[in-house]
Amino acid sequence: MNTNVIGVDMGGTKILAAVVNAEGRILAAAKIPTKADKGATVVIDRIASCIQKAIDKSRVAPESIQAVGIGAPGPLDPGTGVVIFAPNLGWKDVPLKAELETRTGILTFVDNDVNVGTLGEHTFGVGQNVQNLVGIFVGTGIGGGIIMQGELFHGASKTAGEIGHIIVKADGPRCGCGTRGCLEALASRTAMTKQFQKAILKKGKKSILSELTGGELGLIRSGTLAKAIQRKDKLTLKVLKRATKYLGVGIGSIVNFLNPEMIVLGGGVVEALDDTFLDNIRAAVEKYALPNTLNGVQIVRAKLGDDAGILGAAALARQRFKAA
């Protein structure tokens, strides 16, 4: 019976592949470095060999594999499986689906990594049985995915879900996208890093972050934030309070506009936050959401953690295989 699928999580530094059964159980997984600097052909070879490793390890019959699902960074066309642009990998117009199918002989489906993460939470995580949900992932940037009527919604230009670029403060701080006041410019780790640098380097504020980063404030990671929160670092708490307020403003906009049943919050920054900050986000949402719009809307943490990428990709493989 061909009831197994392969889920692949392709990042800038590592490739993860897993054999996942119909119940969403990971039967076996493999991990190898991406070696992005060697170019697209080598990386795709490496993905294929990582898939083979996972199959070998799982001991399932290769013919039991229905399809491969893969979450890739950057804007891409989920129909053709072409990665349009992925600056982390140095990719432009790479036909990932076709190239992988040639190498593995297995039907392959590609989608954006954040969409895949959202689908994973819908299929195997916190959003099971929820028909309409929005996933928000906060890290270096802020990405998101939209599930409508149980399926990923891609939109007219296949770019739906760019919640990091809803404008919450017109004429506000400059964003990496070139405009101003985007949610990402106010609440991502990149935005917070700028605030830490300004406070510590320009205003001379004290913070444990100087010690935790060895003075390299540009290297603040989500784990660094978690440590600084545990140590109750005043500046960290202040900056995070502001960022989570703006997250609440953005979520409030979405609750008023799209009114989904669930908002799933994930990503490194959210994992670093203790529940006080989740409460801070919810308080801001309550302030900005219209009366009654929050009835029936849950705001919850993602629960798949490190497995989100492979499980989401497995869910993608299963859903698209059924529809194909």
Residue 219, both tokens: 């290297």
Q: Which stretch binds a second copy (CB under 8 A): 29-37, 150-158, 204-212, 315-323?
A: 150-158
How many CA atoms, within 13 angstroms, populate the side-chain half-sphere of residue 101? Answer: 14
- Minimum Å gap between C-beta 285 and a second copy is 11
15, 43, 152, 297: which one binds a second copy (CB under 8 A): 297
Give the integer Cα–Cα distance in Å for 54 and 77: 26
Under the binding rule (CB under 8 A), the answer on residue 292 touching a second copy is yes
Q: Which residue has the tokens 């669930």?
A: 262
Least gap, CB of 210 to a second copy (angstroms): 30
Spacing of C-alpha 322 from chain mean position: 24
Q: Which of 62, 294, 300, 303 binds a second copy (CB under 8 A)?
A: 294
Query: Residues 1, 23, 37, 170: which binds a second copy (CB under 8 A)?
Result: 170
Q: Work out whether 257 is an interface residue with a second copy (CB under 8 A).
A: yes
Among 67, 146, 200, 273, binds a second copy (CB under 8 A): 146
Residues 6 or more apart from 96 whose CB is under 8 A from it?
44, 70, 72, 76, 81, 82, 83, 108, 110
When asked if residue 139 is in the footprint of a second copy (CB under 8 A), the reply is: no
253 near a second copy, judged by CB under 8 A = yes
294 vs 263: CA distance, rounded Å: 11
Residue 195 binds to a second copy (criterion: CB under 8 A)? no
> What is the token pair recorded at 165?
């670029």
Euclidean distance between CA atoms 279 and 285, whole angstroms = 10
252 is an interface residue for a second copy by CB under 8 A: yes
Within residues 17-76, the interface with a second copy by CB under 8 A covers 75
Task: Tell the smallest beta-carbon distance from residue 121 to a second copy (Å).
Answer: 17
Rounded distance between C-alpha atoms, residue 290 and residue 229, angstroms = 32
Distant-in-sequence, close-in-space partners of 134: CB < 8 Å, separation ≥ 6:
118, 144, 145, 146, 147, 161, 163, 254, 258, 260, 262, 263, 264
Residue 262 Cβ vs a second copy, minimum distance, rounded to whole Å: 8
Residue 290 makes contact with a second copy by CB under 8 A: yes
**CB 303: neighbour CB atoms within 10 A?**
15
Task: State the Cα–Cα distance between residues 245 and 264, nearest whole angstrom.
Answer: 16
Stretch that binds a second copy, among 7-15, 35-43, 140-148, 197-205 (CB under 8 A): 140-148
129 touching a second copy, by CB under 8 A: no
**Other residues' Cβ atoms within 10 Å of the Cβ of residue 103:** 16
Sheet (strand 151-152) strand order: 151-152, 142-148, 133-138, 262-266, 298-301
Please tell me whether residue 260 binds a second copy under the rule CB under 8 A: yes
Give min distance, CB of 191 to a second copy, in A. Answer: 14
Residue from 26, 27, 28, 148 that binds a second copy (CB under 8 A)? 148
| Residue selected from 59, 157, 216, 324 as contacting a second copy according to rule CB under 8 A | 157
Beta carbon of residue 113, minimum distance to a second copy (angstroms, whole number): 17
User: What residue ranges bind a second copy (CB under 8 A)?
Assistant: 75, 84, 132, 144, 146, 148-149, 153-163, 165-172, 177, 179, 181, 246, 249-250, 252-254, 256-261, 287-288, 290, 292-297
